[in-house]
Structure formats: C-alpha cells, structure tokens
Amino acid sequence: MSEPASPTEPIFQPLAINGPLVRQILVRFLQNEVRKVGFEKVVLGLSGGVDSSLVATLAAEALGPSNVRALIMPYRGSDPKSRRDALQVAGQLGIDYLEVDISPQIDAYFSRFADADQKRRGNKMARERMSILYDQSWAWRALVLGTSNKTELLLGYGTIYGDLASAINPLGDLYKTQVWQLADVVGVPTDIVKKAPSADLWAGQTDEVELGFQYRVVDQLLYHLIDRRYTVAEVEQLGFQRAFIEDVLRRVRDNQYKRRLPVIAKLSSRTIDRDFRYPRDWGH
C-alpha cells in the first residue's frame, strides 16, 4: 500500500459513514443505556485526543453538559498540548471538568521500581486514571464512559483494566477512520481531529510509529478480514503485504483476552458467562 498524504484522508469508501445518522444512534444509545439503569451523569477521561473529545461531545449532547464530568489527568511527562486541547474541548462543550495531576502517585510508586520500562509505566498510568475515574464515578454517581475504538480493541492497543475499562462505550464499533469522520461531523476542533493519534504515555509517542502502520491502512485490512470475512489469500490479492496481514492477525488473536472477562475454571453445571447467560440490561 502506498503512503497516504494525510493520515485522515482520503476516506476508504466502505468505511465512509452517514455521520448525522451515527451521531443520532450514539446519542440515543447514551441516553438510553445511562438513564435506564438509574443514572443521569457520566464521567470520562479527557485526554485532548480525538476519541475522548468525540465521546465528551456525544455525552454533552445526550445528557446535557452539566451531567458530564471530564477528568483531565496529565502526568508530568505528558505533552502540554494535550492538556490545552482537553481544556479547549471542555470549555467549548461547557462540561464540568476536574484536573488531577497523576505525577505524585505514579512517581511515589515507581520510586521503588526505578528500572521500570516505559510500557510498564504507561500501563500503570492508564490504570491510575481508571482508578480515579471509578472513584469519581462513585463520588458523583456517574457511569464511566469508555473511549476505545474498534481498531484499538481489535489490535489490543490499550491497557487491560486501564483505558479499556468502562461501563459503556459508544465508540467500540467504529474504526479509527470512522471516529475521525464522526468527530468532524459533531464539531470536534479540526486541530484535534487532524493531529497524530497518541496515547501520550511518554514524550513523542505516536500510535502509528509504535504500531508500525497507519490507521487508515490497518482499518482497510481489518474491515476486509473482520467485517467482510475475507481470507488471507483474498486480502493479499487486494495488495496487502503478507507480513503485515500476519502481524495484524497475530495482534487480534493475542489480545483476545483483553476483550473478555477472566477465564473461570468450570466446575458446576451453570458457570457464569458460559451457561449462566443473562443480558447486561436485565430488567431495564
């Protein structure tokens, strides 16, 4: 596949979406799934990236800005632009926000493990933020919104029980290229939509450098493999390199555990989630 001029464009046609329709489905999804279980409010981590900015925008539209609390949780190594972007989005939406600098608690912990590598530190930060969100969830009687998209979930590009943890997730069935389109439709600042995606766990980190491929390319591959069930031979004929296909398939397979509850050793005749199966919206 040739290198695209822009990371967000052009849009691969099968992944092009009717933005207003998706917006309506997701806004109603948030209203329905939040309110019917007895909540009015939500909390989410607002990083200043496109995913969380989009979720914040949808939540503000669905529940009203006063029912949305954004947690801005920088670490001292985070890019200052991320914080500025998060503040811009919170200000633009008129939602409630709270800043919690996670540096003291992260540094206190790693003072005992000075040799910890970047990935370990990054995972710890993601879980620290999750812990804060769930504490705020209790304190504010609000559900935690997830912001992981379909690309990240399939590739396992997230921290289990960290940023992957949430009560409900409006973006989990949208590929990254679709997130960009929807963000544009709902009015997320263009600067945020166009900037290089980053987990911002260390200085200069970008998703696409770390992953080794571009979202708009991998989304096309995932669309064919997952949504359309193309075989490896068929996607190879489309022009995807064999090594790239195998790398992506390996990531999808190796990260399956992140998308499931912990494995339970089966003993009884009705084991939770195996033969004890109830809908999550049981009674609602």
Partner 1 sequence: MNPQQLQVGLAQMDCTLGDRQANLERHQRWVEKARQAGVQLLVFPELSLTGYFLKDLVPEIAITLEGPQMKEILGLSKDLDLVVSAVIEEPDHRYFNASLYLSNGELAHLHRKVYLPTYGMFDEQRYLAPGDRFRSFKTPFGRAGILICEDIWHLSSAYILSLEGVDLIICPSASPGRGVTTDERLGTAESYNLVCRTYAQFLTTFFLYCNRVGYEDGANFWGGSMVIAPNGDIVAQEEDADEALVTATLELGEVRRQRLANPLLRDERVELTINELRRVWHERTRKPY
Residues that bind partner 1 (CB under 8 A): 14, 16-18, 21-22, 24-25, 28-29, 32-33, 168, 276-284
| Nearest-approach distance from CB 39 to partner 1, in angstroms | 14
Cβ-based nearer residue to partner 1, 173 or 234: 173
C-beta neighbour count of 209 within 10 angstroms? 11
d(CA 126, CA 63): 26
Cβ-based nearer residue to partner 1, 25 or 196: 25
| Nearest-approach distance from CB 260 to partner 1, in angstroms | 16
C-beta neighbour count of 24 within 10 angstroms? 12
Q: For 211-247, b where at least 16 C-beta lie within 10 A, e where not — what string?
A: bebbbbbbbbbbbbbeeeebeeeebeeeebeeebbeb
d(CA 182, CA 200): 22
| Nearest-approach distance from CB 28 to partner 1, in angstroms | 7
- Helix, coil or strand: residue 209: helix
| Nearest-approach distance from CB 67 to partner 1, in angstroms | 18
Cβ-based nearer residue to partner 1, 80 or 283: 283
d(CA 179, CA 53): 10
Cβ-based nearer residue to partner 1, 129 or 150: 150
Cβ-based nearer residue to partner 1, 11 or 160: 11
- The DSSP code sequence of 97-117 is EEE---HHHHHHHHTS-TT--
| Nearest-approach distance from CB 92 to partner 1, in angstroms | 26
Cβ-based nearer residue to partner 1, 11 or 106: 11
| Nearest-approach distance from CB 177 to partner 1, in angstroms | 13
Look up tokens 């981590």; give the residue.
45
